[in-house]
């Protein structure tokens, strides 16, 4: 390995905990998916507006997280036997909703 950045990364990865390595594995998987779709990342030629791209991805993440939370609430409410509507996933005092 002659690339100094690759050597530095390898040394730092060797010090990571198993969970930190799992996180890094997911990050690298994302880079690999991007490489498969767009080719190798080359910041000198890729003229995307990175901040705009990141902001759009963050907005998408917020939608996905909210949808996952609502789906979880709905699944819990579905098992509830009370007749109260479970708006926002909870009814105070209801065993099927959140408290």
Instruction: Give the whole-angstrom CA distance, residue 16 versus residue 27.
Output: 14
42 and 53 in a common domain = no
Asked whether residue 22 falls in the same domain as residue 40, the answer is yes
Other CB atoms within a 10 A radius of the CB of residue 77 amount to 20
Same domain, 77 and 59: yes
Q: What is the pLDDT of residues 41-75, one digit of tens each?
A: 999 999 999 999 999 999 999 999 999 998 888 77
Number of folded domains that form the chain: 2
Structural domain boundaries enclosing 93: 49-99
What residues contact 69, with CB distance under 8 A and at least 6 apart? 89
CB neighbour class for 24 (10 Å; exposed up to 12, middle 13-18, buried from 19): middle
In the chain, the percentage of residues whose pLDDT exceeds 90 is 67
67 and 96 share one domain: yes
- Asked whether the whole model's pTM tops 0.85, one would answer no
pLDDT at 21 over 90: yes
Question: 93 and 56, same structural domain?
Answer: yes
């Amino acid at each position: 390995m002659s690339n100094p950045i690759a050597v530095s990364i390898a040394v730092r990865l060797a010090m990571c905990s198993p969970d930190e390595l799992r996180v890094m594995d997911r990050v690298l998987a994302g880079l690999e998916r991007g490489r498969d779709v767009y080719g190798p990342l080359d910041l000198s030629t890729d003229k995307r507006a990175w901040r705009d791209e990141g902001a759009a991805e963050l907005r998408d993440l917020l939608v996905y997280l909210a949808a996952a939370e609502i789906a979880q609430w709905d699944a819990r409410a579905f098992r509830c036997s009370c007749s109260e509507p479970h708006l926002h996933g909870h009814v105070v005092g209801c065993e099927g909703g959140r408290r």
